[in-house]
Amino acid sequence: MRRIRDAFRRCSMLRDGQWLAWFLVCFPLGSFIILTSEVSEALTGERELIGIIDHHVLAFIAEHRTPFLTGIAIDLTALGSVAGLSILTLFLCAFLFFSKERLLVLHALLAGIGAAGLTTALKFHFERSRPEDSFRLVEVQGFSYPSGHSLASAAIYFTCAILVHKRLSDLPSRCIMWTFFLALIGAIGFTRIYLGAHFFSDVIAGIMIGIAWASLLEIGMSRLGRAS
């Protein structure tokens, strides 16, 4: 038992108090690998459960669309667009720069650049077609897996939440802040299914990779900050 305790003490991620960040890297990545294996098999024509879920979720949501909800979905999905997230990132970097938080400027920039790179690489690797035209309410191009809106939103808004978390000291404020950002990430992902631009699995995969990237970046930037 003593040897086990010593091993835990020597473990850097526990010593640095970053066990949660590492969990938010490992668990989403592991889940993404499992989900991707199922999606890949479905793409070969096999009747996989994820393919059935994707179809039924998309069909169910399409049957319950209303003009009011469609308007909300179009407005919300813009918050996860390239333009929307680019503007947010630039404003965040400008604020951090004038606050003399130069390391955090790099943190915010890497969140966006990494999300863009991961989205492009993964989409061109899997080359999954988007849902049928009959489901779509918006014009979209490119491949479907994973959802770029979901991945980038998760990476950037989760990074924003991490940065804000460090500036809040009381638990209620932190809980409200995390609830807001997580709900926003989920809402943007939902709009991609509602608008017929993505399947359910596309959105889940994008969110998992986005959170994993934001968490890994937080670990790296925290260590860089302590070293500087």
Q: Scanning the structure block, which residue is given the tokens 């070969």?
A: 44
- Distance of alpha carbon 30 from the chain centroid: 15
Q: Is the dihedral of CA 44, 41, 185, 190 positive or negative?
A: positive
Three-class SS state of 44:
coil
- Joined together, the tokens standing for residue 62 give 């399409």
Question: Is the pLDDT assigned to residue 14 strictly greater than 60?
Answer: no
Using pLDDT thresholds of 50, 70 and 90, give the confidence band for residue 2: low
**pLDDT tens sequence across 49-80:** 888 999 999 999 999 999 999 999 999 999 99
> pLDDT at position 202, please?
96
Highest mean pLDDT among 132-136, 142-146, 185-189, 224-228: 185-189
Reply yes or no: is the peptide bond before residue 131 cis, omega within 30 of 0. Answer: no
Phi/psi for 124 (5° steps) reads -75, -20
Question: Is the pLDDT assigned to residue 114 strictly greater than 90?
Answer: yes
The domains of the chain are located at: 19-227
What pTM does this model have? 0.90
What is the share, in percent, of the chain residues with pLDDT greater than 70? 92
Question: Is the pLDDT assigned to residue 8 strictly greater than 80?
Answer: no
**pLDDT tens sequence across 146-158:** 999 999 999 999 9
Using alpha carbons only, give the angle 165, 168, 170 rounded to the nearest 5 degrees.
115
DSSP string, 92-139: HHHHHHHTT-HHHHHHHHHHHHHHHHHHHHHHHHH-PPPPPGGG-SS-
> pLDDT at position 3, please?
53
Q: Scanning the structure block, which residue is given the tokens 């991490």?
A: 162
Please name which of 59, 158, 146 lies closest in space to residue 108, comparing C-alpha atoms.
158
What integer best gives the mean pLDDT of the chain? Answer: 89
Q: Which amino acid is at 190?
A: F
Question: Is the pLDDT assigned to residue 6 strictly greater than 80?
Answer: no
For the chain, the C-alpha Rg in angstroms (whole number) is 19
**pLDDT tens sequence across 34-54:** 999 999 888 877 777 888 999
